[in-house]
Amino acid sequence: MASTIVNAPCTVPSVKGFETQNYVGLRPISSLRFNPGRTSSSGRSRSIFVVRASERFDGHVKKAEMSIEECEAAVVAGNAPEAPPVPPKPAAPAGTPVIQSYQLTRRPRRNRKSPALRASFQETSISPANFVYPLFIHEGQEDTPIGAMPGCYRLGWRHGLVEEVAKAREVGVNSIVLFPKVPDALKSPTGDEAYNDNGLVPRAIRLLKDKFPDLVIYTDVALDPYSSDGHDGIVREDGVIMNDETVHQLCKQAVSQARAGADVVSPSDMMDGRVGAIRAALDSEGFHHVSIMSYTAKYASSFYGPFREALDSNPRFGDKKTYQMNPANYREALVEAHEDEAEGADILLVKPGLPYLDIIRLLRNQSPLPIAAYQVSGEYSMIKAGGVLKMIDEERVMMESLMCLRRAGADIILTYFALQAARCLCGEKK
Ligand code: PBG
């Protein structure tokens, strides 16, 4: 069997509700297509899904030559009808030692014997509904490839972005997160472009919501794409990142995104107290329905390199170690998680993903909130590079790494592989 990974809505037309069709199987059956929900002449959306009984049983029932009683009597009389014999024991290669089998009460391999058994006992599943697709956008009209992230582009917000979102929805990915490449001339030490209601992100949100009202839009809340210093916060003369002043800006940024139609604002800045402040700011403006996904445990990681190239957002000096966490720390993630929970976060995020599975599991065990994992740019690029160099099987490693993030306890995964992996789950080739 080609795959034991569970499929989710594939041929589901994206304009139709995602809640309605969610069938689970091993491979989508090509003959079972949902009607693409086109509007009929009556103006009502129609969806017809015809199920036919197997042809063999259509119409007449074959007349039996013997009655049940006669069949039973024949067996009782010792004349059982023939069935295929038990197949002979497969031969072992010459030279295999002949031994007495071990007396094992438990042979765990029994439950892994066949694809069907393995599928029955699979503990973790993955579906396109678990993915959030991060998309880079810019003011340009062309889509420009990102050198360090093969297959990823800075998308023109008017065209490329809309097309990419449509492709993702085709295979059941209905959640995206936006990252803007901001023109240098709009960057400043205080990052004020971040809350321009007519800035790149709010404009893109409004366009997407206009085209796809049920699309779930996550946004990034942090100053780095807008900061002339490339830091997530305001930098004081002596290099200190100013916490509360930055949070003040982030609140304005989050409200601006919510006003444009964002569903989930996601502070990725790691300032103290920002979740509570953003919650209060959103509520005071009437955005009670807008969620907060907090980057709870975001580590000062070298795996973000390709992302910073994509957005040209490398810090101009120093590093991010006074706000992002030390990769050596585990318990500290709990301190952050307790704060974010108390301040009203709706989702807790761990970042990066694969090197931090223990942190994902820690938060999963300690919190009832949904957990997100971010498979970051460096993780993506490593898999891509390994694939291009033919050192690993890109597709299998991709699917395995995503499954492992789910196994560790992630409900949702932010991944640049979202589209490719969803296509794979739907049985489509690239
Ligand atoms: C910035 C931000 C970063 C990423 C997401 N939001 C980079 C950073 O903290 O320097 C990284 C994502 C990735 O590497 O894929 N607030």
Please name the residue that has the structure tokens 């500290």: 332
User: Using DSSP, how many helices (H) and how many strands (E) does the chain show?
Assistant: 12, 12
Residues 354, 358, 362, 368: what is their CA dihedral angle, to the nearest 10 degrees?
30
Exposed / middle / buried, residue 29 (Cβ in 10 Å: 0-12, 13-18, 19+): exposed
Compute, in angstroms, the gap from residue 269 CA to the centroid of ligand 1. Answer: 9
376 lines ligand 1 (CB under 6 A): yes
Strands 241-242 and 264-267: unpaired
Exposed, middle or buried: residue 326 (CB in 10 Å: 0-12, 13-18, 19+)? exposed
Whole-number Å distance, alpha carbon 265 to ligand 1 midpoint, is 15
| Local mean pLDDT, 10-residue blocks, the chain (430 residues) | 44 38 38 38 41 50 84 95 95 96 97 97 98 97 95 97 98 98 96 98 98 98 96 94 97 98 97 97 98 98 92 87 96 98 98 98 98 98 97 98 98 98 86
Task: Give, for ligand 1, the residue of 356, 376, 417 to mutate: max count of ligand atoms closer than 8 Å to Cβ.
Answer: 376
Instruction: Tell me which residue has its CA closest to atom 2 in ligand 1.
Output: 268
The CA angle 393-356-362, to the nearest 5 degrees, is: 130
At 101-129, the pLDDT tens digits run 999 999 999 999 999 999 999 999 999 99
pLDDT for the residue numbered 310: 84
Q: Give the pLDDT score at 311.
A: 83
The per-residue pLDDT for range 191-210, each reduced to its tens digit, is 999 999 999 999 999 999 99
Integer Cα distance of 250 and 413 in angstroms: 24
Determine the angle formed by the axes of helices 160-170 and 418-425, rounding to 10 degrees.
Answer: 30
Ligand 1 pocket test target in 224, 227, 250, 301 with most atoms within 8 Å of CB: 224
| pLDDT score for 13 | 40
Q: Report the separation in Å between the CA atom of 304 and the middle of ligand 1, taken as the mean of its atom positions.
A: 6
Q: CA geometry: angle at 336 spanning 260 and 383, to 5°? A: 75
Compute the distance between CA of residue 178 and CA of residue 310 in angstroms, rounded to an integer. 13
Q: How far is 59 from 249, CA to CA, in rounded Å?
A: 72
Is the Cβ atom of 136 under 6 angstroms away from ligand 1?
A: no
Ligand 1 near 224 CB (within 6 A) = yes
- Nearest CA among 239, 279, 271 for reference residue 255: 279
Which ligand 1 atom is nearest residue 324's CA? Answer: 9
Residue type, position 248, single letter: H
Q: Please count the other Cβ atoms lying within 10 Å of the Cβ belonging to residue 173.
A: 29
Q: Are 182 and 193 in contact (CB under 8 A)?
A: yes
Q: Is the CB of 377 under 6 A from ligand 1?
A: yes
- Any ligand 1 atom below 6 A from CB of 266: no
Q: State the distance from the centre of ligand 1 to the C-alpha of 321, rounded, in angstroms.
A: 13
Active site residues: 298, 351
Q: How far is the CA of 127 from the centre of ligand 1 (A)?
A: 24
pLDDT of residue 188: 97
Cβ(12)–Cβ(132) under 8 Å? no
Name the token pair of 214.
């049920």
Mutate to test the pocket of ligand 1, among 250, 296, 307 (most ligand atoms within 8 A of CB): 307
Angle, alpha carbons 410-411-412 (nearest 5°):
95
Angstrom distance (rounded) from CA 393 to CA 323 = 36
pLDDT at residue 196 in the model = 98
How many whole angstroms separate alpha carbon 378 and alpha carbon 189? 27
| Residue 75, phi-psi category: left (phi > 0), alpha (psi -120 to 50), beta (remainder) | alpha
